[in-house]
């Protein structure tokens, strides 16, 4: 399953890279690409685990960049 | 400005006032230090706070943490004004980055501001505004002057001029009349149009284009990926170097620790790769935005990179260099008037919708009175026999003339020749040719002057026709009479011939050349305003179907790459220089702040240039 998630107030390139690297390491994530210009994250993960992965990703993003609001 | 930006700006202003008060008022040492500490708290509390929480989360090489160490270190060493200034400038840089990025984000969004807000639907005799998403196929909608057509459809009633500039960059309005197709996203300029929709909103042209542009920056190019990877190693490397600089030299030489710790702290200030990680994606984003301004959609920054290194450009003929619509170019008669000959041919070909028959009828220009035609008989592979006004008319190729034993003069003109015979006698012939697009010669010329080494044309058309077009346009090579599979083979061959770094670009109209579009390094398709297949198959789409836009988008691509490279060299160069000078003790923290924030600001300003496309860059149409 593939989903585009909005990352509001993501405005630094290195934070985007950090988020991308961290989310990539979550178990079950097949592909993830964070784009800081369009403030979006495209997450691709196994269907059955998608919801838990999304929750985990949100928690990770909150940790890395507390300023960013995640809107799925 | 967003709330976050306004908030930070206010803090910067307060801190700046405090900073100048602290540096200019010559009061006692403790008061001065107090002012600086308050200033530091105002400007840096969130950075320190983030540093602490991030360490608790296990992130060590975090720019917040490094900034905190560098500034607090400076404060402890007694360099109060420097410690505060570094934090202040760091925040100024952050604010500027955020502001510049959201500014360019907005200007690109407004460029692509083609999303229609509503559709006017008639319900119970009244016009109601509804969400375009809710309009089913086959509905009747009304578009008033000044409004954007929300969905693709066919005009039922009304005539007007349509402004397609948002989609194509073309400023000439298009005429719109009943029966014509209307594409969503065009602005209706003059009259009221009643349109029957042919697509749902999700499938309409405007939704497809928006989707494509919004996702374009997801496909990252080599340069962008390099920067992301580089950034991962840069920060830890600089931090370890700083650590070594603080400890080793004093231990070896016995010099005081204070000097070397100060030098190490300047390292930490430069440890953020911010200038690169922001300005490179921003350059590419700008380049893609600039291209869409002239009606060229680029699906990713990787394609922009490839376009900049284009070496061979391969064209499909029909629909790409030529209009794909046939027109009568010559009429040769044998005793009859040209008009008469054309009339006979038009009547004989009336039943057919073949492009060639259509072009004859178009050249005739008058309505065909079908009562005058009797007994139409198609002779497969040869032509038609029809009885018109009681006279037997034959129209078709040379084979037909031979078959019917008609003495004809073979026509030497290049093109498709239709021979006409009337009552068993040769009457003349009509030559039909595919018209070359008005800007095609200019397109080839500007590609050549842009340094393209080889221009090639592939066509399924007859050798004489293909060679003639290639000759008129000044193409280097032409391969003719190719089957679709042969085209792939030819492209494979050309891929082998080009140099290793050069890229091969294939330009087609998107119809039945999908395999070639995919095989080439960059596949460019004629968008044909709404040909979905083309938009999906290609890497780059020319919305106006003008081949001259290829050279324009190449220029944009090269400019973008140039800007990105400038930024890499400039940012890394300055940082490296300041690192070396800092290690030797020649650069203080002020220089380090410049290397960090100053370089970021300059690189961002440079990156914004990529978005600007001069209208002059577009070759004027002939």
Q: How many angstroms away from the CA of B278 is the closest CA of chain A?
A: 5
The predicted-structure confidence for B324-363, as pLDDT tens digits, reads as follows: 777 888 888 888 888 888 888 888 888 777 777 888 888 8
* Closest residue in chain A to residue B100, using alpha carbons only: A11
- Count of C-beta atoms within a 10 Å radius of residue A19: 24
Q: What is the number of CB-based contacts under 8 A between chain A and chain B?
A: 63
* Closest residue in chain A to residue B228, using alpha carbons only: A17
**C-alpha closest to that of B140 among B183, B131, B174, B127:** B127
User: What is the token pair recorded at B222?
Assistant: 């080599």
Is the pLDDT at B598 greater than 70? The verdict is yes
| Inter-residue contact B238 to B268 (CB < 8 Å) | yes
Residues of B in contact with A7 (CB under 8 A): none
User: What is the token pair recorded at B169?
Assistant: 């960059």
Residues of B in contact with A39 (CB under 8 A): 105
| Inter-residue contact B478 to B460 (CB < 8 Å) | no
* Closest residue in chain B to residue A65, using alpha carbons only: B50
Q: Sheet holding B187-188: strands in order across?
A: B174-176, B160-163, B187-188
**Phi, psi at B60, each rounded to 5°:** -90, -50
| Inter-residue contact A44 to A29 (CB < 8 Å) | yes
| Inter-residue contact B162 to B170 (CB < 8 Å) | no
Mean pLDDT of chain A: 84
Q: If interface means Cβ-Cβ distance under 8 Å, which residues of chain A face chain B?
A: 9, 11-14, 16-17, 20-21, 33, 35-40, 42, 63-64, 66-67
**C-alpha closest to that of B189 among B175, B169, B179:** B175
Q: How many angstroms away from the CA of A10 is the closest CA of chain B?
A: 9
The predicted-structure confidence for A18-66, as pLDDT tens digits, reads as follows: 888 889 888 888 888 887 777 888 888 888 888 899 899 998 888 888 7
pLDDT band for position B529 (cuts 50, 70, 90) = low
| Closest residue to B285, CB basis, from A20, A37, A40 | A37
Residues of A in contact with B278 (CB under 8 A): 12-13, 36
| Rounded CA separation B359/B327 (Å) | 5
N-terminal to C-terminal alpha carbon distance within chain A: 14
**C-alpha closest to that of B144 among B206, B190, B198:** B190
| Rounded CA separation B181/B621 (Å) | 25
Judged by CB atoms closer than 8 Å, whether chains meet at A11 and B102 is answered as yes
Mean pLDDT of B15-28: 84
**C-alpha closest to that of B177 among B163, B156, B197, B198:** B156
| Inter-residue contact B46 to B15 (CB < 8 Å) | no
* Closest residue in chain A to residue B103, using alpha carbons only: A37
What is the reported pTM? 0.78
| Inter-residue contact B292 to B209 (CB < 8 Å) | no
Judged by CB atoms closer than 8 Å, whether chains meet at B217 and A38 is answered as yes
pLDDT band for position B510 (cuts 50, 70, 90) = low
| Closest residue to B273, CB basis, from A11, A14, A63 | A14
Give the β-pairing of B503-508 and B310-316.
parallel
Q: Does B220 touch chain A (CB under 8 A)?
A: yes
The predicted-structure confidence for B215-258, as pLDDT tens digits, reads as follows: 766 677 888 888 878 877 888 888 899 999 989 988 888 888 88
Q: How many angstroms away from the CA of B30 is the closest CA of chain A?
A: 35
Q: Does B272 touch chain A (CB under 8 A)?
A: yes
Question: Would you list the domain boundaries of chain A?
Answer: 2-71
Per-residue DSSP letter, A59: H
Is the pLDDT at B57 greater than 80? The verdict is no
SS3 assignment, position A65 = coil
* SS3 per residue for B16-62: HHHHHHHHHCCCCHHHHHHHHHHHHHHHHHHHHHHHHHHHHCCCCCC
Residue-level pLDDT at B553: 93
Compute the Cα dihedral for B500, B505, B510, B513 and give only its sign.
Answer: negative
Mean pLDDT of B512-528: 83
The CATH class given to the A2-71 domain equals alpha beta
Q: How many angstroms away from the CA of B130 is the closest CA of chain A?
A: 26
| Rounded CA separation B120/B140 (Å) | 9
pLDDT band for position B531 (cuts 50, 70, 90) = low
| Closest residue to A14, CB basis, from B2, B54, B231 | B231
Burial label, B21 (beta-carbon count in 10 A; 0-12, 13-18, 19+): middle
The H or E element containing residue B346 is helix B338-348
| Inter-residue contact B542 to B499 (CB < 8 Å) | no
Judged by CB atoms closer than 8 Å, whether chains meet at A37 and B281 is answered as yes
Is the pLDDT at B617 greater than 50? The verdict is no
* Residue B430 C-alpha from the chain's centroid: 42
**Rounded to 5, what percent of chain A is helix, strand, coil?**
40, 30, 30
| Inter-residue contact B513 to B491 (CB < 8 Å) | no
Mean pLDDT of B530-550: 79
Alpha-carbon distance values, B293 to A40, B105, B508, B602 (Å): 22, 14, 21, 25
* Residue B293 C-alpha from the chain's centroid: 8
Q: Which residues contact B422 (CB under 8 A, 6 or more apart)?
A: B336, B344, B391, B392, B393, B394
With tokens 């719109």, the residue in question is: B176
**C-alpha closest to that of B537 among B509, B553, B517:** B517
Residues of A in contact with B50 (CB under 8 A): 66
Rounded to 10 degrees, the C-alpha dihedral B54/B594/B94/B88 comes to 80
| Rounded CA separation B196/B388 (Å) | 39
| Inter-residue contact A68 to A7 (CB < 8 Å) | yes
pLDDT band for position B622 (cuts 50, 70, 90) = very low
Q: Does B63 touch chain A (CB under 8 A)?
A: yes
Q: Which residues contact B341 (CB under 8 A, 6 or more apart)?
A: B331, B333, B420, B427, B428, B430
Mean pLDDT of chain B: 84
**C-alpha closest to that of B305 among B321, B274, B279, B281:** B281
| Rounded CA separation B273/B234 (Å) | 7
Q: Which residues contact A24 (CB under 8 A, 6 or more apart)?
A: A32
Mean pLDDT of B55-63: 76
Residue-level pLDDT at B112: 64
Is the pLDDT at B491 greater than 80? The verdict is yes
Q: Which residues of B are catalytic?
A: 316
Residue-level pLDDT at B557: 94
Burial label, B533 (beta-carbon count in 10 A; 0-12, 13-18, 19+): middle
The predicted-structure confidence for B155-214, as pLDDT tens digits, reads as follows: 998 888 888 777 766 667 888 888 888 888 888 888 889 999 988 888 887 777 777 766
Quick one: residue B428, left, alpha or beta (phi over 0 = left, psi -120 to 50 = alpha)? left
């Amino acid at each position: 399953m593939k989903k585009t998630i909005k990352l509001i107030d993501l405005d630094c390139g290195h934070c985007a890279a950090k988020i991308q690297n961290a989310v990539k390491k979550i178990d079950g994530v097949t592909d993830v690409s964070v784009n800081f210009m369009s403030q979006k994250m495209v997450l691709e993960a196994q269907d059955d685990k998608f919801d838990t992965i999304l929750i985990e990703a949100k928690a990770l993003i909150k940790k890395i960049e507390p300023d960013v609001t995640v809107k799925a | 400005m967003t709330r976050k930006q306004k908030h930070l700006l206010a803090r910067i202003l307060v801190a700046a006032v405090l900073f100048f008060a602290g540096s200019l008022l010559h009061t006692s040492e403790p008061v001065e230090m107090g002012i600086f500490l308050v200033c530091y708290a105002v400007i840096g509390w969130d950075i320190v706070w983030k540093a602490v929480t991030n360490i608790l989360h296990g992130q060590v090489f975090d720019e917040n943490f490094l900034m905190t160490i560098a500034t607090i270190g400076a404060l402890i060493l007694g360099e109060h004004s420097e410690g505060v200034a570094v934090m202040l400038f760091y925040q100024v840089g952050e604010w500027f980055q955020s502001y510049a990025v959201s500014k360019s984000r907005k200007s690109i969004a407004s460029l692509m501001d083609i999303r229609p807000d509503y559709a006017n639907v008639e319900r119970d005799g009244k016009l109601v505004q509804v969400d375009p998403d809710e309009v089913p196929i086959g509905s009747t909608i009304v578009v008033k002057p000044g409004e954007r057509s929300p969905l693709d459809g066919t005009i039922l009633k009304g005539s007007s001029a349509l402004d397609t500039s948002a989609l194509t960059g073309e400023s000439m309005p298009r005429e719109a009349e009943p029966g014509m197709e209307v594409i969503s996203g065009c602005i209706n300029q003059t009259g009221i149009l009643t349109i029957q929709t042919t697509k749902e909103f999700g499938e309409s042209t405007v939704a497809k284009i928006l989707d494509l542009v919004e996702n374009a920056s997801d496909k990252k190019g080599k340069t962008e990926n390099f920067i992301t990877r580089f950034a991962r190693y840069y920060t830890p490397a600089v931090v370890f170097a700083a650590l070594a600089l603080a400890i080793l030299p004093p231990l070896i030489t016995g010099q005081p620790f204070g000097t070397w710790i100060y030098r190490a702290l300047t390292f930490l200030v430069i440890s953020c790769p911010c200038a690169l990680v922001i300005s490179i994606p921003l350059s590419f984003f700008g380049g893609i935005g600039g291209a869409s301004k002239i009606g060229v959609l680029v699906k990713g920054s990787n394609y922009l990179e490839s376009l900049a290194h284009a070496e061979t450009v391969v064209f499909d003929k029909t629909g790409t260099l030529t209009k794909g619509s046939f027109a009568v170019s010559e009429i040769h008669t044998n005793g009859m008037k040209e008009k008469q000959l054309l009339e006979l041919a038009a009547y004989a070909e009336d039943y057919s919708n073949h492009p060639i028959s259509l072009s004859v009828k178009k050249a005739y220009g008058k309505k065909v009175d079908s009562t005058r035609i009797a007994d139409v008989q198609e002779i497969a592979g040869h032509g038609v026999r029809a009885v018109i006004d009681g006279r037997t008319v034959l129209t078709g190729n040379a084979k037909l003339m031979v078959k019917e034993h008609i003495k004809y003069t073979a026509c030497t003109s290049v093109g498709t020749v239709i021979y006409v015979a009337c009552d068993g006698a040769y009457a003349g012939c009509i030559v039909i040719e595919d018209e070359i697009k008005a800007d095609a010669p200019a397109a080839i010329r500007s590609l050549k002057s842009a340094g393209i080494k080889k221009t090639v044309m592939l066509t399924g058309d007859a050798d004489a026709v293909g060679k003639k077009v290639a000759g008129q346009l000044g193409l280097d090579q032409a391969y003719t009479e190719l089957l679709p599979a042969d085209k792939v083979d030819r492209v494979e061959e050309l891929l082998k011939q080009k140099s290793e770094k050069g890229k091969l670009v294939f330009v087609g109209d998107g119809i039945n050349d999908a395999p070639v579009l995919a095989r080439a390094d960059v596949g460019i398709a004629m968008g044909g305003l709404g040909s979905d297949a083309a938009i999906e198959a290609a890497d780059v789409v020319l919305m106006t179907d003008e081949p001259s836009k290829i050279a324009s988008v190449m220029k944009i691509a090269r400019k973008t790459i140039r800007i990105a490279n400038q930024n890499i060299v400039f940012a890394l160069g300055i940082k490296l220089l300041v690192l070396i000078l800092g290690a030797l003790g020649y650069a203080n923290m002020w220089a380090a702040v410049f290397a960090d924030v100053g370089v970021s600001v300059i690189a961002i300003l440079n990156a914004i240039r990529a978005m600007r496309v001069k209208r002059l860059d577009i070759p004027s149409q002939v």
